[in-house]
Amino acid sequence: MRSAGTTGRSTGAIVATLLAGVLATAGCGADPVAEAAPPAGPTAAATPAEGTTGSPSTGPASPGPVPETLRFTGKHLDGAAFDGASLAGRPVVLWFWAPWCAACASQAWTVAEIAPGFRDTVPIIGVAGLGEHKAMTDFVTEFELEPVPQLDDRAGAIWRRFEVVEQSTFVIIDRDGKVVHQGWLDGEDLTRRVTALAG
């Protein structure tokens, strides 16, 4: 009987130790200091970027380092925060447009049509500039671009970062963070390139 009691106490001690270890590990994921740190490598990149929780269009960040090209932040047209690090590990298309631009309007229908189908494999992110906020939101509504993430870059910070000097410009970044195209694309070229990147 003494042997069985000793075994029971030993088993209970092991279970208690394991349970304490599991609880301690679970608490690490909610460290507010770690979550507030800027993305700077594999660990930070694996955590979804602040402000992307409600945006299924961009999805969670992929594990791995964040390339320099994606180390930028901004705001969606609705004011929610956006972090380019959330796109790491996937190819991405940045579409730089202005609300008064006729060429942008001609491309908007193609973007609205194809972007939802590629949102998890090749996200297309609009970067609106050179206009007023209301004009930007009216443009999005008119061309049914609501499912496509749209950034408000009235200050031009993201435009300058990518050295965009005219609209409409597409910047295509491969999964390693390398810019593989920057410039004009018609609807057919855009569809072909996005389809190839998704393959």
- Name the β-bridge partners of 96: 127, 169
Q: What are phi and psi of 173, to 5 degrees?
A: -115, 130
Do 65 and 42 touch, CB atoms closer than 8 A? Answer: yes
Residue 7, domain member (yes or no): no
How many domains is the chain built from? 1
- Across the chain, mean pLDDT equals 77
Task: Give pTM, 2 decimals.
Answer: 0.69
For residue 109, being part of any structural domain is answered with yes
Tell me the per-residue pLDDT of 10-24, one tens digit each, with 9 for 90 and over: 434 433 333 333 333
CATH number of the CATH domain containing 81: 3.40.30.10
Judge whether 148 lies within some domain. Answer: yes
Q: For the segment 67-111, what is each residue's pLDDT rounded down to a tens digit?
A: 999 999 999 999 999 999 999 999 999 999 999 999 999 999 999
* Domain-embedded: residue 16: no
Do the beta carbons of residue 160 and residue 150 sit within 8 Å? no
- Structural domain harbouring 125: 32-198
Establish if 17 belongs to a structural domain: no
Q: Is residue 81 part of a domain?
A: yes
Residue 55 reports pLDDT greater than 80: no
| pLDDT score of 44 more than 70 | no
Residue 51 in domain: yes
Long-range contacts of 100-109 (CB under 8 A, 24+ apart): 100/130, 100/131, 100/135, 101/130, 101/167, 101/168, 103/167, 103/168, 103/184, 104/139, 104/167, 104/168, 105/139, 105/143, 107/168, 107/185, 107/186, 107/187, 107/190, 108/139, 108/143, 108/145, 109/143, 109/187
